Amino acid sequence: MLRRVPTESMSRPLVAEVSLSALRHNLSVVRRYAPASQVFAVIKANGYGHGLLRVAAALREAEGFAVLNLGEAQQLREAGFEQSILLLEGFFSADELPQIAKQGISVVVHSPWQVAAINSALITGVNVFLKINTGMNRLGFPPAEVAEVCHALRLGGRLDQCALMTHFATADDERGISAQLEQFAAATAGQRGQRCMANSAAILRYPQTHADWVRPGIMLYGASPFAGQAAADLDLRPAMTLRSRLIAIQQIKPGEAVGYGRSFVAEQAMTVGIVACGYADGYPRHAGTGTPVLVEGVRSRTLGRVSMDMLAVDLTAVPLAGVGSPVVLWGEGLPVEEVAAAAGTISYELLTALAPRVPVREMS
């Protein structure tokens, strides 16, 4: 049987394709679900691995961007983005406040020291999103303290507005949001200010959480937040496709092993393809034998341990594959959630771990 042979010269073939139209489409899905809400597109962690400024440009119709730190916010301002920008953990030091005020950046306030810092800073016009801990026990004020903290912030006279926000711990599973939503409603009853609660899962499942602002992350990148529901069923399109090619072929005999630790041993003679992609590219090292992969568009599986720069795949179902055959690690045709699940992790981790050494090809 004739295998494919390379016909073109090859540089290392690994590339992450980022589809700007998929990003735009996924924002339109957010709009469809939450038509009356403003959108903070969550673009922290380098736009979930897709590129901060690239994603911001594709999603420039969002009313705001949510990021982790002042550095990201400054990059956005320097690139000319004038939308609202929200620092999801607020400021880490009071020294950041003058820049925050100057650049018109909104801050989450989750701890008493931040309230004190704002009230004693020589600034005005700060936009605060007061974080309320409704059950996640990560960041935020206890519901019983909300009225008092709002009062203290307003009294301090530094604020432009004080919005109220919370974050859901189980919007993506059957436990849902009701307990947290009840806490939030009780804690904020009678308080002025905009409301901001919903992550992707809540946007897709719980319209009662949409309120003034929604905060979609993962759905913008085309991955499903739900373990049992595919992104395509939610009309989401993968924004990143990690593509590579086979760079070598091995014929192995029964009893022979593949890769470090000899963890995969062939039961019969088989053909193995070696793919230019490894854990130093962000592919999860803990993805064991059987993690799905597409070779020449045909679904196959990885074999043995992932190396730093390479991984091995089973070519039994792709007899014509050879050096140069295209491989999709995740993305179009192979949802990143599926690869993540097979590797015992979540799509968020795979996308955000894409290594800087992987070239990105922007697709309109």
Residue of 102, 221, 253, 260 marked active site: 260
Q: What is the enclosing helix (H) or strand (E) of 252?
A: strand 240-252
Closest distance to ligand PLP from the beta carbon of 42 (Å)? 4
Choose among 276, 308, 273: nearest CA to 14.
Answer: 276
Between 302 and 347, CB nearer to ligand PLP:
347
Closest distance to ligand PLP from the beta carbon of 203 (Å)? 7
Where in 58-117 is the site for ligand PLP (CB under 6 A)? 88
Query: Is 44 tagged catalytic?
Result: yes
Contact status: 301 vs ligand PLP (CB under 6 A): no
Q: What is the DSSP letter of 107?
A: E
Stretch in the footprint of ligand PLP (CB under 6 A) among 113-121, 209-217, 295-303, 350-358? 209-217
Contact status: 295 vs ligand PLP (CB under 6 A): no
Give me the long-range contacts of 151-158 (CB less than 8 A, separation at least 24).
152/115, 152/119, 153/109, 153/115, 153/118, 153/119, 153/128, 155/119, 156/115, 156/118, 156/119, 157/124, 158/118, 158/119, 158/121, 158/123, 158/124, 158/125, 158/126
Stretch in the footprint of ligand PLP (CB under 6 A) among 26-34, 210-218, 227-235, 248-256? 210-218
Contact status: 225 vs ligand PLP (CB under 6 A): yes
**Residue choice 218, 247, 272, 358 for contact with ligand PLP (CB under 6 A):** 218
Site size for ligand PLP, by CB under 6 A? 10
**Residue choice 26, 127, 134, 200 for contact with ligand PLP (CB under 6 A):** 200
Contact status: 187 vs ligand PLP (CB under 6 A): no
Distance from first CA to last CA of the chain, Å, rounded? 38
Q: Are strands 257-258 and 264-265 parallel, antiparallel or unpaired?
A: antiparallel
Choose among 352, 27, 22, 40: nearest CA to 196.
Answer: 40
Tokens of 203: 């946007």
157-168: buried (b, 16+ CB within 10 Å) or exposed (e) per residue?
ebbeebbbbbbb
Contact status: 334 vs ligand PLP (CB under 6 A): no
Closest distance to ligand PLP from the beta carbon of 136 (Å)? 9
Closest distance to ligand PLP from the beta carbon of 176 (Å)? 14
Give residue number: closest CB to ligand PLP: 217
Q: How far is CA 13 from CA 31, 85, 161, 327, in A?
A: 36, 36, 50, 10
Residue of 44, 48, 221, 348 marked active site: 44
Contact status: 238 vs ligand PLP (CB under 6 A): no
Closest distance to ligand PLP from the beta carbon of 99 (Å)? 21
Where in 248-277 is the site for ligand PLP (CB under 6 A)? none
Q: Which residues are catalytic?
A: 44, 260
> What does the binding site for ligand PLP look like in residue numbers (CB under 6 A)?
42, 88, 167, 199-200, 215-218, 225
